Structure 1
Amino acid sequence: MPEIFHAAASFGQQEKKPLRFEADVFDCEIEGEIPDSLQGAYFRAGPDRQYPSLENDIVLNGDGQVSAFWFEDGRVRFRSRYVMTERLRREREAHRRLYGAYRNKYSDDPSVSNAPARDNTGNTYAFAHHGDLYALREDSRPHRIDPATLETLPIGDFGRLQSTAVTAHPKIDPVTGEWWSYGVFARGEPTTDASLHVFDRDGKLVREEWFQTPFPGLSHDWGVTREHIVFPIMPLTADDARLRRGGDYYEYDPDLSSAWGIMPRNGSTDDIRWFRIPNLVMGHVMNAFTEGNVVHVDTPFSPGNCFSFFQDKNGRSPTPAEGVTQISRISFDLSKPAEEAVTITPVEGALGDMPRIDDRFAMDKYRIGYFALRDFPNMGIGQLDWESGDLVFHALEGAAAQEPVFVPRSPDAPEGDGYVLAAVDRFAERRTDLLVLDGNDVSRPPIATVKLPFALPMAFHGCWMEGVKAGD
C-alpha cells in the first residue's frame, strides 16, 4: 500500500511538508531594478524529501535540493534541482521510500545496506571553492554541482582524505584561498573520533590531523581565525545503542556542558585546550578572530536545546523560550586558567540565527554582521555593527527570512558596501521572494525584489559565485 507524506518536524517547533518539485523560471518577475554590478549566481541548498518518510521524520533528513538565481544584465533566471545522490536514485528506481530515520541505518528497508549512501544527501550548504560548486552535508563527502545547470556531477577528488565527514560549514581563508574543514564522527560512526583537514586554493588536500572530542556531541559549525582554530561540541550526544533501539540520533543532555577546543592554527591538534560552558547550545558562527591572547567567537546561542525536534535524556522536549538564540560574543582569554578564561557578551535585541558577514573579512576583526531576525512576531533581516553597537532591521510582515548572503559591490569596496540577498517566505501568498537589500543599511526598502510564483523549500545555506552564467 502506498505511503502518505507526513510533515517533518522543523526548527522553532514548526512542521513542514515537502514540496517535491523542480522548477525553471526563465525570466523572473522583478520589482525595482537589479544593480548593474550583480553579475553572477546565488546558490542555495536545503532539504526536501521526494518520497514519503517515516511518521516522525525531521527536516534534516530531507533529500538535498539546490536552487540558483542567475543574475545577468538586469535579468534573473531561476532553477531548482534535486541533488541526484545514490540514495535518491535508488528510491526513484524503487518508486518508494527505502531509507528511514535521520542517520539511522537500522531503520532502512532491507533491500539497501550502503551506509555512506544513505546519509549523503547534500542538503545543507551550496558552497563554492576553486571554481567548483558543492552540495555539502556534514557527515559526508560533498557532491559536485554544475553551476551553469545544477546537474549533479561525480563526487570530487579529495585526495588521501581519511575522514568520512566534511563539515557543512567550511571556512575559506580570504588571504590564502585555503578551504579549512573538519569533521566529527569522522570514521562514520557516532564516536569521539574527529579530523581537521585543509585544502589549498586549488582544492588539493594539504593537511589532515586526527583528535578526540570530550564526548560524542553535535558540532555543526566552528571558528577559524588568523591564529587559532575553535572546535565547539554541543551537549546533544549520539549513541549507536540508542539507534538500535529505534531512538533519535541525537539526545540533549541538560547536565552536560558544551565543550570548546582551541588550538594554535600553526600548531597541532595535540595542543588543543578544552573549555566548558554550561547552559549553552549553538549551531552557527558569525565569525571568529584573535586579539592578542583572546579568541573571540561571535555566535547566536540559546540557553537550552535549540534543536527542538530532539528530546532530552529524560524524554522532554524543549520549551520555545529555551530555543531562542541571541547573538553574543564569547571571548576566551588563553592567558588565564580555563575556569576564568570565558566571557560572554550578549547583543541586546539581536535575536535570530543564520548569521553571515562580508566574507572578505573572515578570520579577522570585522565590523558588520547580518542575520535572520527571529523575535516572533518581529521577523526580518538584521544588521549589526560591532564597533558602534548599532542594530537595524528590515522588518517583514506575514513573512520570514531565510539566510542572508552578502555580495560586495566590487572586489575592493569597503566592508559592507554591497548587497544582501535573502529569500523571504510569504506565508499567506504561499510563495517566495528574493530581496536585494543595501548592505550598508538593510533597513532601507529593497533595491529589487525577485518574485517567484511559488514557494521554495527551506534552504539552510548558500553562496554567491561571481560571473557565473546559466546554461541550458
Structure 2
Amino acid sequence: MKETSTGEGKLITNLWEGGEGPQNRFMDGPFAPIEHEVTAHNLEVVGKIPEELNGRYLWCGPNASPFDPEDPRTYSWFTGSGMLSGVRLREGRAEWYRNRFVRDELTTPHLGVPRLPGPEPLSRREPYRDLTGPRFVEANVVNTHVWAMAGRTYAFAEAGVLPVEFSYGLDPVARCDFDGTLNGSWTGHPHRDPDSGELHGFSYFWQWDHVSYQVLGTDGKINKRVDVPVGGRPSVHDMAITARYAIFLDGPLQFDDRAHQEGYDWPWAWDREKSVRWGLVPRDGGAADVKWCALEEQTYTTHILNAFDLPDGKVAVDACTVPKLFLDDLTGPTESVSRLQRFILDPVTGSSKVETISAEGLDMPRLDDRMTGKQHRYGYFNRLEGAGAIARTDFEKQSTEYYKYEAGKAGIESIFVPRTPDSAEDDGWVLGYAIDVPTQTTEVLILSAQDLASGPIARIKVPSRPQYGFHSNWIADEELEQANI
C-alpha cells in the first residue's frame, strides 16, 4: 500500500503495485477507460421486449479518460469524465445503442471537436475565477445522472458543474443554466414531484458556506431557491421530498483543504468532529423556517430511496447509509458496506430515531417514481457487495427478492418502469444492465418487477462495454411528445 497524509491523519489510498507502477481499482476491470463512441443498430434480443416500452433507457457515469491519463494516486471514481449511454426501444425492438462522451475541458481537445457552447461554469465566474478549484469542477465534468425536462434531455452532476443538454440521439448540444435561472451549481441527484412534474434538488459548491434548495419547473427554469447556511462545506449528493418538506443530510463529508492542496481529484473527506443532522426545508418556506433533526452517530447517506410525512407530524426517510466514507481512501467508496435504514425525524423536538432494515450492501435505491414523497411499499436496489444482484424489497412484508447476476457480470443501478400510467405500484418492469467483463460486452436486462427470481424476460445484446456507473432513467417518447405540444 502507498500512504500519504491529508487532514489530521493518514490516508491509505486504494493502490497496489502493478507492472507499470501504482494502479487504482477504479481505472481497471469494469472501470477501465472506454476509448471509442459506438453506434449499433437493430440489436439482438433474446426473449421479448414489452411493446409498451417505447423510449430510451439511458445511463450516465464516469470514464477514466483515455485521453487525459490520471495520476492513480489521486484519481477518484467520482471525477472521471462523463459518458452517456443507452438503448432506444420501440414496438418490441431494440433499434439502437449509443454511447457518447459528455464533452468537457479534458476530452474535447483530444476528440478534435469544439468546446461546447453555453454559459461559463461557476468556477470561471467572479468571484471564483481566480481560485484553483477541484479539477473536475474546473473542467465541468458531467458524469452522474440523466433526466428529461421540458422536452430536453440533460446529463447532470454536482458541486458547481453545469448540466449538459443532449439530442435525442445522445449527441452533446450545450452547457446549460436553465435560461440563466440557475445559480451556477445544480445537483447530480434530483427527485421529481409526481404531481407537479417539478425537479427538486440541493446543490453545493466548494466555496459556499451554504447549500441551495432549488426547484426546476416544467418550463425548464428554476422557480424557487432557498440558500440554507450550514457552517461548513458539505457534499450533498442526494435528497428527498415529501408533501411538506425538502430534506437533506448535513453530514460529515466535508471539503478538505489539505486534500485539495495535495491534488486529490475529489477533496471531500470524512470529518470526525462534524455533528450530523437532517435539514427539513418547508416547501413553502425559507431559510429561517428550516427544521433540524440531530443524529447521535455519524453517518452519510449515499442515496435516499424516498421520504414521506407521517400522520403525527414526523417524517420517515428511507436511505442507504455508510458509517465511514473517504476517511482512509479518497479514490472511491471502498471503506464500509451500505446499510438500508429508516430514519424517523421529529421537526418539533429536533430529534431522530433510526432503524436498520438491511445491512447486506444494498444501494442505488429506486422506486416507482409515482410514489416519490408518498408512503411506498416497494423499493428496488442493487446489491454491490459479494455476489452482485438486483433486489426488490417489500417494506410491508419485510422481505427481499433477488435476481443474481451470472458469473463474470456486474451491474450498478436498476430502475422501475410502470406498465401503464395508472397501474399498481409494483406492476411493471425493472430495467438494468450487466457488463460482461471477460468479453467486454453488455446485456440490457428487462425483468418482471413482481418476479425477479425468474430472470429476464428479455436480454438486449450490446456489442461493447459501457462505463460502469452511476445513475439511469427511462425516458418515454410520450414524455417528450407531451412536453413539445
TM-score, normalised to structure 1, is 0.85
Instruction: Please report how far the alpha carbon of residue 297 of structure 1 lies from its aligned counterpart in structure 2 after TM superposition.
Output: 1.1
SS of alignment partner, residue 90 of structure 1: helix
- The number of equivalent residue pairs is 439
- Change beyond 3 A, Cα 1:210–1:120: same
- Which of 154, 158, 169 is the matching residue for 2:174? 154
Which whole-Å CA distance do the structure 2 matches of 1:114 and 1:308 have between them? Answer: 19
* Residues 25-104 of structure 1 mapped to structure 2, 5 A cutoff: 25-48=40-63, 49-51=65-67, 52-56=69-73, 57-76=75-94, 77-92=96-111
SS of alignment partner, residue 388 of structure 2: strand
Q: Which residue of 2 aligns with 1:423?
A: 433
Please, which runs of 5 or more residues in structure 1 have no aligned partner? 96-102, 106-111, 312-316
* Residues 39-438 of structure 1 mapped to structure 2, 5 A cutoff: 39-48=54-63, 49-51=65-67, 52-56=69-73, 57-76=75-94, 77-92=96-111, 118-139=138-159, 140-147=161-168, 149-161=169-181, 163-185=183-205, 189-240=206-257, 242-247=259-264, 249-277=267-295, 278-292=297-311, 293-305=313-325, 309-310=329-330, 322-336=335-349, 338=350, 341-348=351-358, 351-376=361-386, 378-398=387-407, 399-438=409-448
Deviation string, structure 1 residues 316-345 (Cα, Å, up to 9, x no partner): x99x6x510011111102232x3xx21111
Percent of aligned positions that are identical: 27
Which whole-Å CA distance do the structure 2 matches of 1:417 and 1:94 have between them? Answer: 44
- Change beyond 3 A, Cα 1:113–1:356: closer
Q: Which residue of 2 aligns with 1:454?
A: 464
Deviates more, 1:214-223 or 1:39-48: 214-223
Which whole-Å CA distance do the structure 2 matches of 1:169 and 1:113 have between them? Answer: 22
Instruction: Please report how far the alpha carbon of residue 93 of structure 1 lies from its aligned counterpart in structure 2 after TM superposition.
Output: 5.0
Please, which runs of 5 or more residues in structure 2 have no aligned partner? 1-19, 115-121, 125-131, 481-485
- Change beyond 3 A, Cα 1:177–1:34: same
Instruction: Please report how far the alpha carbon of residue 306 of structure 1 lies from its aligned counterpart in structure 2 after TM superposition.
Output: 6.7
Q: Output the amino acid matched with 2:43.
A: C
Q: Output the amino acid matched with 1:282.
A: T
Q: Output the amino acid matched with 2:31.
A: K
Which whole-Å CA distance do the structure 1 matches of 2:30 and 2:446 have between them? Answer: 28
- Change beyond 3 A, Cα 1:350–1:415: farther
Which whole-Å CA distance do the structure 1 matches of 2:479 and 2:314 have between them? Answer: 43
Q: Which residue of 2 aligns with 1:100?
A: none
Which whole-Å CA distance do the structure 2 matches of 1:234 and 1:382 have between them? Answer: 27
Deviation string, structure 1 residues 366-417 (Cα, Å, up to 9, x no partner): 11110001231x2210001112212111112322222001111111111121
- Change beyond 3 A, Cα 1:272–1:114: closer
Instruction: Please report how far the alpha carbon of residue 211 of structure 1 lies from its aligned counterpart in structure 2 after TM superposition.
Output: 2.0
Which whole-Å CA distance do the structure 1 matches of 2:220 and 2:255 have between them? Answer: 31
Deviation string, structure 1 residues 92-148 (Cα, Å, up to 9, x no partner): 4599xxxxxxx999xxxxxx999897342221001111221101111212100112x
TM-score, normalised to structure 2, is 0.83
- Change beyond 3 A, Cα 1:329–1:281: same
- Change beyond 3 A, Cα 1:6–1:177: farther
Which whole-Å CA distance do the structure 2 matches of 1:420 and 1:15 have between them? Answer: 22
Q: Output the amino acid matched with 1:228.
A: Y
